[in-house]
Chains A and B, each alone.
Chain A
Amino acid sequence: MVERLTAERRLSLGQVIVGVVLLASIAAGLLLNSLDTLRVINGVFLAFWSLFVGLMLVVLPFASMRYRMPSKFIEILERDLPTYTIVLPVVREKDNLKPLVEAIKQLNYPAKLLQAILLLEEDDPETIEAVNRLDLPQYFEDLVVPAGGPKTKPNAMNFGLGQATGENFVVYDAEDRPESNQLRDAVWALRNSAKNVVCAQARLYFWNRTDSWITNFYWSEYVMHFEWVLAGLSKLKLVPPLGGTSNHFKTEALRKVAISQDKLPFKSDGYIGGWDPWNVTEDADLAGALALHDYRTIMFDSVTHESACKDISHADKQRRRWLKGYFHTGMVYTRHPLKYAHAMGPLKYAVYVLILLGTPLSLWLSLPYWGLTIAYFTTHSEAIRSLFPTPLFYAGVLLMVFGNLLKFYQMVVSCLHRNGETSVKYMLLVPLWWILSIYTAYMALWEFMVKPHHWHKTEHIQDLEQERIELGLTGT
């Protein structure tokens, strides 16, 4: 079995050597024949764009149309229900605790089969105090994560996995509000799927879509990601990078794919490396680990409501973490490409790495290519023309026109898809959204270089009263 690696280091020695050789070759090429070298680079980038755009905007959405989610649960006898561990990592979330506990209490699942673990941080006394003040049901436990490891969510979750007694395992964030039948639906979906399906991912939706122009875009992107990209990957039996929360695992599988103790920051039985503690998109990484063991992930028909960041500053930080994490995970999985491709299957591996590396790369490349486009149309420069011999010119034009058009169409369609008609008008602001995304991608690259493990805590400034109204929740 292929050894699971961590993101403790940015790059392996092999990757550094390959990078240096590549840069030296480009430099030499530029010195010897700059035009042809630039054309080759341009051709490689356009080939990447073609693959990435083709996969994300054509193949996966089309595949998702044919994806049939497992049905909602019909009937499961109580004695047939598995025990369930719900892990709730909460950091600086004292205001969110009460509604979170309420949401868990509303889950339609026998209390005697539940174990809910609140994961607290040693240096977060406010939340610890707030937990102590709460009147928690009997199946709730709290666990204070000791300092010393990386300050990340996966680090805390590994402690949760160490304490887990449930046959099934799920993680919810503090702002998550899962549908009441979600656990039963997940059990039903896992039970009615192939044996190697060990993870069922619920869809995530934002309930505060209309709060600001930012939340409208967040909402649209989540529809596209969960309904088309992840569902398409499930249909094609590829590897969907998991969505952070609301993925329901068979606990045994998590333990089986765990990172070996010698690579972890804590070496005790109460700490199991289901997640890479240094990885800031730990679930995207875990999806790859499951695939290495020939396990599969499916999407199932249940929704967890979340709240989206309302302003640019918070959105930027959250997306920076996502992009940095995707890139870092991609770099982890390209340390031994042949071994991983062999273990995972070449196509699964190629698509998985393309999504992980392609997501930030496509944004990084957007800047120079938009720059070239604008520069060409303003200056009609011969130098820019010379970079695009006929085949590259047509490929570039097709990608620019149809790639952007298709993306815009999908954003508009996503609004109609889940009754988000009032979001359509915001899609006209798409250039602003793309500028923000490109800026965020470059900041993510910078952070990858200077603080790869830094976890930007997403502040959920939410109006709890509004949330209750939007989600139709009861209680105070």
Chain B
Amino acid sequence: MASVLLYKIIFDLTSKKLPALTGAFVFMANPNILYMQSTAMTELLLFACMLGMVYSLQRWIRTEEKKYLLYAGIASFLGTLSRYEAWVLFAAMLVVMFYVGWRKQYGSPYHLVRGVVQKRYRHQDNVLGGRFLAFLFVGGIGILGWVFWNDLILGNPLYFQDGQYAKPSLWVGKSDKVVGNWVASFHTYWYAMTDNLHLVIVVLMIVGLLVMLVRGRLRHETLPALTLLVMFPFYVVALYEGQRPLYVSQVQHAAFETNNLLNVRFGLLMVLPASILIGYMVAQLDWKRHGKVLCAVGCAAVAALTIVLAVESFNDPASSIITNKEAVVEMHSTYDEDSAMTSQYLRHHYNGGLVLMESYGNEALPYQAHLSLGDVVYEGSYKLWNPTLANPSAHHIRWIVMRGPSQPDDVYKRLHYSPELSSYKLVYKNPDYSVYERN
């Protein structure tokens, strides 16, 4: 879906099929995109929604058909419910929508500013305001619903931001090198981007950006696609503020000495503007005599380059595909070996009954142990977690899995040395994990 939307965005901007296909191919053949398709992460859903926002808004700008504004709103609604990055893009899209609407009505920015300063409202302003509100309502209701949901279920409208398991401080320490350091923050996101896209593609993207700025002259219809670039400064600011955990091997971090890759997939988002800008760039080769040939050659060159980069990655996917590498490294870390051993034990000895364990920090364990999530009481078990932690036997818990003493989880903190464990016997132990079974 994202590939189709990319094709449509580029074709809508250039009216050329081959460059549109080439741009979409840059996305489709990216090894990290291919790897992400094999995971349960929500990035690809986010990408499709973001491209839906861009395409619909672009079409609205070109045709002024109101249905596209609604489509952009619906894509925003879905995007904002899939990942928080879409919130930022949605805010930027609102600005673009309002700016374009006003410019179409009043022409120059001077008139725009004068209109705002003098507060001269006319009927047309209300029409524009109505369209803006329609886009805001349709696109923003997911955010509102999410805030309400947090308030109703968890008692705090911002639980997703500052809740027990959501605090940025869980991942990002104040001593982290990027926090409060613009250069390190910039470097971190830059490396995340180049690791995901490859430096050559990033360079082509930058050239494409220059081409779009020069040839496109910031025409209104190019603005939605350019808005995707806002994600770069957003991530830099988020890193600087310590709001987003992102570690790349090129920048050393204090928190993770053993594993210097974390959430490196955040850089993958830039493949969207890269694909559009590269497609746009090769389309511009078709502007003089022999332009068609030149354009075809450009497309072929980009496609060949993309294939070479992909094939090169496939030779050694464990180290060349950065998103895959992050997972591989994490799987082989010492910390996860204990987890894997515990999983193995449970896989062979678990024979039914409820299991009490914290999910946070032990995410892989139940999957590797082949436990049914319905049999696990964890911190997400609505209204069960705290009472069960206080008295597991009364809540029919048959197995207790705890992590500690290093990086102890909540189960360890609450039950280790507790008299509640008297009705359980220790059946398995390694340096990080203990498993108890009911007597």
A and B physically associate: yes
Are B70 and A422 neighbours in the complex by a CB distance under 8 Å?
A: no
Q: Does B134 contact A (CB under 8 A)?
A: yes
Are B126 and A422 neighbours in the complex by a CB distance under 8 Å?
A: yes
* A421 proximity list for chain B (CB < 8 A): 126-131, 134
* A427 proximity list for chain B (CB < 8 A): 137
Checking B130, B141, B145 against A415 with a beta-carbon cut-off of 8 angstroms, the contacting residue is: B130
* A420 proximity list for chain B (CB < 8 A): 130
* B152 proximity list for chain A (CB < 8 A): 377
Q: Does A143 contact B (CB under 8 A)?
A: no
Checking B123, B128, B134 against A416 with a beta-carbon cut-off of 8 angstroms, the contacting residue is: B134
Query: Complex Cα distance A3/B141, Å?
Result: 50
Q: Does A401 contact B (CB under 8 A)?
A: yes
Query: Complex Cα distance A422/B125, Å?
Result: 9
* B137 proximity list for chain A (CB < 8 A): 408, 412, 424, 427-428
Checking B69, B133, B145 against A425 with a beta-carbon cut-off of 8 angstroms, the contacting residue is: B133
| A411 vs chain B, min Cβ distance (A) | 9
| Size band of the interface chain B makes with A | 10 to 19
* B145 proximity list for chain A (CB < 8 A): 401, 405
Residues of A in contact (CB 8 Å), total 19
| A83 vs chain B, min Cβ distance (A) | 42
Q: Does A387 contact B (CB under 8 A)?
A: no
Are A425 and B129 neighbours in the complex by a CB distance under 8 Å?
A: yes
Query: Complex Cα distance A425/B131, Å?
Result: 10
* B141 proximity list for chain A (CB < 8 A): 405, 408
Are B138 and A422 neighbours in the complex by a CB distance under 8 Å?
A: no
Tell me the nearest residue of chain B to A385, going by C-beta: B383
Q: Does A409 contact B (CB under 8 A)?
A: yes
Q: Does B66 contact A (CB under 8 A)?
A: yes
User: Which residues of A, 415-472, contact B by the 8 Å Cβ criterion?
Assistant: 415-417, 419-425, 427-428
Query: Complex Cα distance A415/B126, Å?
Result: 13
Known A421-B131, A424-B137; contact A416-B126, beta-carbon cutoff 8 A: no
Query: Complex Cα distance A401/B144, Å?
Result: 12
The residue among A409, A424, A427 with the most chain B CB atoms within 10 A of its own CB is A424
| A251 vs chain B, min Cβ distance (A) | 40
Tell me the nearest residue of chain B to A376, going by C-beta: B152
* B69 proximity list for chain A (CB < 8 A): 416
| A11 vs chain B, min Cβ distance (A) | 41
Query: Complex Cα distance A429/B29, Å?
Result: 48
User: Per-residue CB proximity of A380-418 to B under 8 Å, as 1/0?
Assistant: 000000000000000000000100010011001101110
Tell me the nearest residue of chain A to B66, going by C-beta: A416
User: Per-residue CB proximity of B134-149 to A under 8 Å, as 1/0?
Assistant: 1001100100010000
| A60 vs chain B, min Cβ distance (A) | 18
User: Per-residue CB proximity of B64-83 to A under 8 Å, as 1/0?
Assistant: 00100110000000000000
Known A377-B152, A401-B145, A424-B134; contact A416-B70, beta-carbon cutoff 8 A: yes
Tell me the nearest residue of chain A to B136, going by C-beta: A424
Are A416 and B133 neighbours in the complex by a CB distance under 8 Å?
A: no
Checking B126, B128, B138 against A412 with a beta-carbon cut-off of 8 angstroms, the contacting residue is: B138
Query: Complex Cα distance A401/B145, Å?
Result: 9
| B144 vs chain A, min Cβ distance (A) | 10
Query: Complex Cα distance A408/B129, Å?
Result: 18
Are B134 and A422 neighbours in the complex by a CB distance under 8 Å?
A: no
| A246 vs chain B, min Cβ distance (A) | 26
Query: Complex Cα distance A405/B145, Å?
Result: 10
* A424 proximity list for chain B (CB < 8 A): 129-131, 133-134, 137
Known A401-B145, A408-B141; contact A415-B127, beta-carbon cutoff 8 A: no
Query: Complex Cα distance A425/B135, Å?
Result: 11
User: How would you classify the secondary structure of chain A's contact residues: helix, strand, loop or mixed?
Assistant: helix
The residue among B129, B134, B141 with the most chain A CB atoms within 10 A of its own CB is B134
* A419 proximity list for chain B (CB < 8 A): 127
Checking A401, A408, A413 against B70 with a beta-carbon cut-off of 8 angstroms, the contacting residue is: A413
| A39 vs chain B, min Cβ distance (A) | 20
Query: Complex Cα distance A405/B69, Å?
Result: 17
Tell me the nearest residue of chain A to B127, going by C-beta: A421
User: Which residues of B, 111-134, contact A by the 8 Å Cβ criterion?
Assistant: 123, 126-131, 133-134
* B70 proximity list for chain A (CB < 8 A): 413, 416
Known A377-B152, A401-B145, A405-B141; contact A412-B127, beta-carbon cutoff 8 A: no
User: Per-residue CB proximity of B159-184 to A under 8 Å, as 1/0?
Assistant: 00000000000000000000000000
Query: Complex Cα distance A357/B272, Å?
Result: 51
Are B130 and A425 neighbours in the complex by a CB distance under 8 Å?
A: yes
* B133 proximity list for chain A (CB < 8 A): 424-425
* B127 proximity list for chain A (CB < 8 A): 419, 421-422
| A180 vs chain B, min Cβ distance (A) | 26
* A425 proximity list for chain B (CB < 8 A): 129-130, 133
Are B131 and A416 neighbours in the complex by a CB distance under 8 Å?
A: yes
| A143 vs chain B, min Cβ distance (A) | 44
* B66 proximity list for chain A (CB < 8 A): 416-417
Query: Complex Cα distance A190/B88, Å?
Result: 53
The residue among B127, B128, B130, B145 with the most chain A CB atoms within 10 A of its own CB is B130
* B128 proximity list for chain A (CB < 8 A): 421
* A412 proximity list for chain B (CB < 8 A): 134, 137-138
Are A423 and B130 neighbours in the complex by a CB distance under 8 Å?
A: yes
Tell me the nearest residue of chain B to A378, going by C-beta: B152
Tell me the nearest residue of chain B to A411, going by C-beta: B137
User: Which residues of B, 195-239, contact A by the 8 Å Cβ criterion?
Assistant: none
Are A409 and B130 neighbours in the complex by a CB distance under 8 Å?
A: no
Query: Complex Cα distance A415/B73, Å?
Result: 15
* A423 proximity list for chain B (CB < 8 A): 130
Query: Complex Cα distance A314/B324, Å?
Result: 66
Query: Complex Cα distance A408/B123, Å?
Result: 24
Tell me the nearest residue of chain A to B133, going by C-beta: A424
| B84 vs chain A, min Cβ distance (A) | 20
Query: Complex Cα distance A413/B70, Å?
Result: 8
User: Per-residue CB proximity of B25-50 to A under 8 Å, as 1/0?
Assistant: 00000000000000000000000000
Query: Complex Cα distance A424/B70, Å?
Result: 13
* B130 proximity list for chain A (CB < 8 A): 415-416, 420-425
Query: Complex Cα distance A342/B126, Å?
Result: 52
Are B138 and A409 neighbours in the complex by a CB distance under 8 Å?
A: yes
* B123 proximity list for chain A (CB < 8 A): 422
Query: Complex Cα distance A135/B103, Å?
Result: 53
* A416 proximity list for chain B (CB < 8 A): 66, 69-70, 130-131, 134
Query: Complex Cα distance A421/B138, Å?
Result: 14
| B209 vs chain A, min Cβ distance (A) | 34
| B424 vs chain A, min Cβ distance (A) | 29
User: Which residues of B, 249-277, contact A by the 8 Å Cβ criterion?
Assistant: none
* B129 proximity list for chain A (CB < 8 A): 421-422, 424-425
Tell me the nearest residue of chain B to A422, going by C-beta: B126
Tell me the nearest residue of chain A to B69, going by C-beta: A416
Query: Complex Cα distance A409/B69, Å?
Result: 13
Query: Complex Cα distance A192/B277, Å?
Result: 53
Tell me the nearest residue of chain B to A427, going by C-beta: B137
| B430 vs chain A, min Cβ distance (A) | 37
Query: Complex Cα distance A401/B149, Å?
Result: 11
Tell me the nearest residue of chain B to A405, going by C-beta: B141
* A422 proximity list for chain B (CB < 8 A): 123, 126-127, 129-130
Query: Complex Cα distance A416/B134, Å?
Result: 8
Query: Complex Cα distance A371/B55, Å?
Result: 42
Query: Complex Cα distance A315/B129, Å?
Result: 27
Tell me the nearest residue of chain B to A409, going by C-beta: B138
Query: Complex Cα distance A416/B129, Å?
Result: 12
Query: Complex Cα distance A424/B66, Å?
Result: 13
Tell me the nearest residue of chain B to A417, going by C-beta: B66
* A408 proximity list for chain B (CB < 8 A): 137, 141
Query: Complex Cα distance A456/B66, Å?
Result: 39
| B58 vs chain A, min Cβ distance (A) | 18
Can you list 5 A-B contacts (CB < 8 A)?
A: A405-B141, A424-B131, A425-B129, A425-B133, A428-B137
Q: Which 7 A-B pairs have the closest CB atoms?
A: A421-B130, A424-B130, A421-B127, A422-B126, A424-B133, A416-B66, A424-B134
10 more CB-based (< 8 A) A-B contacts, given A416-B130, A423-B130: A401-B145, A405-B145, A413-B134, A416-B69, A416-B131, A420-B130, A422-B126, A422-B129, A422-B130, A424-B131
